[in-house]
Amino acid sequence: MKLRKLHIVLLFILALAIGLAGGYTGVKLAQKTTPPTEQSMKLGGETTANEAITQDMEKVDQAFRLIKENYLEDIDDKQLTEGAIQGMLSTLEDPYSSYMDAETMKKFNEQIESSFEGIGAEVNKVDDVLSIVAPVKDSPAEKAGLRPNDQVLKVDGKSLEGLSQNESVAKIRGEKGTEVELTIRRAGVAEPFKVTIVRDTIPQETVYSKTKNVDGKKTGILEVTNFSERTAQEFNEQLTKMEDDGIEGLVIDVRGNPGGLLNVIEDILKQFVPEDMPYLQVEDQKGNKTPYHSDLKEKKKYPISVIIDEGSASASEILAVAMKEMGYDVVGQPSFGKGTIQQAVPLGDESTIKLTFFKWLSPKGKWIHEKGVQPTINQKQPEYYYTSPVEIKEPLKQDQTGDKIKNIQVMLQGLDYDPGRTDGYFSIETKQAVISFQQDNDLPTSGEIDAQTAKLIETQVIKSIRDGKDDKQLDKALEEVYK
């Protein structure tokens, strides 16, 4: 039987599924890569398994011809082919394996190269709901107050239900200067709320450094927002400069860092993990484990702490767990929990399959997938860090109760306006706190929480968080680094 285009593509993919158990060399968590070796693409000899695959392909080919020849409306080969590929990948129930057409692949490569336009948020499909892994630092998403684990229910009022991750992302992305309205569901908040974001160019910087005096000791702080092409170079340059300036301790901050390229985190870990222990292990489909070592003779002479949160994922977790197993403190909240490695394999027409090939394991062989890295020191942020925007249709007044009032009370407290209580009852003390806020910000002093007052409270809370006000996790990491 003559193979059609769909048949050939499917044979290639199934060959991929059984043949790509080869060695690991520079495989990346998410990046365009060269195709697998020619040998790995071949079906090989006439084995029983190959005969079964041929029989399966005959069934697929029959379905393809049945649709093409008999379906009520015209449908082109490409639509059927891409639908078949997407269907196979969906049966894996793996949110990290996906098919990307030529246009999606172009945008994906732009993201990895840290230069693209949109809202700036890493997302993942969890239980068929699009969730924020982490917003990019200084991006429109961060400025709008989006947070890890926020669920995106609608885009511009249209539900994302039934759409793939790539289709959902395509609706959120857009040109600089255009607006997009997201309907967000946040844990602990009774009702979904809307956030309007103006798309912009996403910042290319991935490493931010500063020093702070802690008990008379110069302490370096390196914040890494994602692991893209230039991150290792930026990290090493800024670390070298701080070391030349005489730092006596270091804090590495990977909060809200959704991950990135495996070779980049490898280059960074090689600066910290000595050759006598692996900085990473990789496990293939057969359970074979390969440890990877640096050439470093000894670890840094100064103490180090790492900060993580629920938005620290993938490559961030590789760093955190390696440092933890070296004996360094990890401060914050349990991380996201992504312990798999993907490789993007081109299909020859500028489309790509991103497929999970391997597990990554900690230096001691632990798999953190869907568990996350557990900090050695648990530390949450102040309560107002976890509040949400409040939609006001009618002004909130004294003696009313509800979750919206509770949310505003917590925000006011975080902004140093004492509401008297934070249980959702609009007391006289809460009214006075609202009046004080309105007076300080040149608003009408009604003592009621109208839409304008609520929006300005929310804006100032977001600014305080982005400025690092009351950052208990960083404070704790600095406090513990020399203990």
Choose the catalytic residue: 98, 114, 342, 464. 342
Number of Cβ within 10 Å of residue 381's Cβ equals 17
Number of Cβ within 10 Å of residue 355's Cβ equals 21
Spell out a b/e string for 184-197, using b for 16 or more CB atoms within 10 Å of the CB, else e. bbbeebeebbebeb
DSSP assignments along 216-243, one per residue: TEEEEEEEE--B-TTHHHHHHHHHHHHH
Choose the catalytic residue: 125, 324, 338, 431. 338
At residue 404, what is the residue type?
Answer: K
Choose the catalytic residue: 131, 314, 413, 438. 314
Catalytic, 62? Answer no
pLDDT of residue 51: 63
- Interatomic CA distance for residues 149 and 400, integer angstroms: 30
- Cβ partners under 8 Å of residue 141, min gap 6: 119, 120, 121, 132, 135, 197
| DSSP 8-state class, residue 338 | -
Catalytic, 413? Answer no
Helix (H) or strand (E) holding 140: helix 140-143
Kindly give the confidence (pLDDT) of every residue in the chain, 483 residues in length, as a single tens digit, with 9 standing for 90 and above.
333 444 434 333 333 332 232 222 233 433 333 322 222 222 233 445 566 667 778 888 898 899 988 999 988 888 898 888 889 998 998 988 988 888 777 766 665 554 467 898 888 887 789 999 888 888 999 999 999 889 999 999 999 998 888 788 889 988 889 999 999 999 878 789 999 999 998 877 899 999 999 999 999 999 999 999 899 999 999 999 999 999 999 999 999 999 999 999 999 999 999 999 999 999 999 999 999 999 999 999 999 999 999 999 999 999 999 999 999 999 999 999 999 999 888 988 888 898 999 999 999 999 999 999 999 999 999 999 999 888 899 999 999 999 999 999 999 999 999 999 999 999 999 999 999 999 999 999 999 999 999 999 999 999 999 899 999 999 999 999 999
Helix (H) or strand (E) holding 437: helix 428-440
- Interatomic CA distance for residues 467 and 464, integer angstroms: 5
Asked whether 18 and 253 are in contact (CB, 8 A), the reply is: no
Asked whether 182 and 194 are in contact (CB, 8 A), the reply is: yes
Number of Cβ within 10 Å of residue 374's Cβ equals 15
User: 47 vs 12, 36, 44, 54, CA distance in Å?
Assistant: 16, 22, 8, 11
- φ, ψ (nearest 5 deg) of residue 130: -75, 120
Catalytic, 139? Answer no
Instruction: Tell the residue number behind the tokens 């059609």, with chain if given.
Output: 4
At residue 42, what is the residue type?
Answer: K
pTM of this prediction?
Answer: 0.81
pLDDT of residue 30: 35
Q: ∠ CA(444), CA(448), CA(454), 5° rounding?
A: 85
Instruction: Burial-class residue 423 by CB neighbours within 10 Å (0-12, 13-18, 19+).
Output: exposed
pLDDT of residue 111: 55
pLDDT of residue 107: 66
Number of Cβ within 10 Å of residue 241's Cβ equals 13
